[in-house]
Amino acid sequence: MSEIQIGLLMLGAVIIALVFAFNTFQEWRFRKRTRQAFARHHADVLLDVPKNHVRDGKQERLEPVLLQDDDDTPAYLNDTPPTHAYHAPVEAELPVHEDSADDAVMDAADHQALIIALLDPSLDFIAEVVFKQPLQLSSLPRFNVAKRVQAILRSERGLWTPPELLPGIRYKQVNFGLQLVDRGGAVTEQELASFCQQISHYAEQFDAEVSFPQRQQKLVAARELDRFCADVDVLIGINIVSPLPISGARLRSVAEAAGLQLEPDGQFHYLADSGNSLYSLTSADQTPFTMHNLLDKSFPALTLLFDVPRVAGGAAVFDRAIAFAQQLSQEFNARLMDDNRRELSGPGLAKIREQLVRIYGNMDDRGIAPGSVAALRLFA
């Protein structure tokens, strides 16, 4: 082999080594950036969050024996963030017509107060957009944010209306409210900045004036409110465990006789007159109930769910739920158990009730009544 051939081989080997080294360096740099991008600077929600918390939209539930004395899909205007649990609509139905026949209704102080209450400064970051001249609006903007956004409009006559736009009506102001806290946690600084930017862009299209609350104060308030919500956000689950599979047909008969009805989420719900769920019954293995499988399927066990902060009537409703659970236990020769398969006794249930009274007292002291509009918004 000539010296030239040997030199070319050596040069080729060096080039191959350099290419390999460069690729190795690129791979190391990519992995480093990936680790930085996905590094967690917070607690692992699956490992560190107590089971009695129902935050981040996860339906983890409280094991009754653990009740002790210690302690990003876009959402758009008028859209409700999707949840796996059945939730009745929060907002009340409001008339929106503003012709002469409805003037008395629209002018009524209580009606105006109801519309204005759709946005709550203690729950929402409220941006005010004021047009220089009243104008007709063909649509309202959609916001690419992870929290609920609601709007109210002020007409040329000075009356506040819900966000349903009517032809022939001119508006001089729109208020947009970004909800500060929900079960996904508190709004972040980046989310708030994005919302403000989108609002400013909308106002610029109409050469309108826009005003915002003080951001840092709202962020601090949101974090404090989220901490409070985490303390009271619990979902109680009581298992009804029978030695024999529970007939779906018989279960449906018992549930409906007790006033529960099957809802689209695949659970039986006991509903208040308002349509809100007070407690629900589901299959312990998460199999949704349907009219079809209730006819020919049996279920190994059942779970009664009580979503604490969303229930108006508090301890009295809990008593009713427990009475229904005990009725099921008698009907199916079953036992009431926690998630660790430990039997729930009368004294244990009484202790849970005491804890519920304490939680509801804390909510009342905070001014967030269980089952109220504010509670349904915060715990959705």
Q: What is the block-wise mean pLDDT of the chain (380 residues), using blocks of 10 residues?
A: 70 69 55 39 32 52 42 40 37 44 61 93 98 94 95 95 90 98 97 97 96 97 97 95 95 97 97 94 95 94 96 92 96 92 89 93 95 95
Residue 29: the pLDDT is 52
10 Å CB burial of residue 59 (0-12, 13-18, 19+) is middle
Asked if residue 219 lies in contact with residue 190, where contact means CB atoms within 8 angstroms, the answer is no
Residues 312 and 324: their CA atoms lie apart, in Å, by 18
CA proximity to 147, closest of 127, 121, 177, 119? 177
Side chain identity, residue 61? R
Residue 69: the pLDDT is 40
CA proximity to 77, closest of 2, 159, 4, 147? 147
pTM of the predicted model as reported, rounded to 2 decimal places:
0.71
Residues 371 and 90: their CA atoms lie apart, in Å, by 10
Residue 64: the pLDDT is 46
Asked if residue 327 lies in contact with residue 256, where contact means CB atoms within 8 angstroms, the answer is no
Residues 151 and 278: their CA atoms lie apart, in Å, by 28
Q: Is residue 236 classed as helix, strand or coil in its secondary structure?
A: strand
10 Å CB burial of residue 147 (0-12, 13-18, 19+) is buried
All structural domains of the chain, each given as residue ranges with its CATH number in brackets, are 100-230 (3.30.1400), 234-378 (3.30.1400.10)
Q: Which parts of the chain fold into alpha helices (H)?
A: 3-37, 103-107, 109-116, 189-205, 215-232, 248-257, 293-296, 314-331, 346-366, 373-378
349 Cβ contact list (under 8 Å, min separation 6)? 64, 322, 336
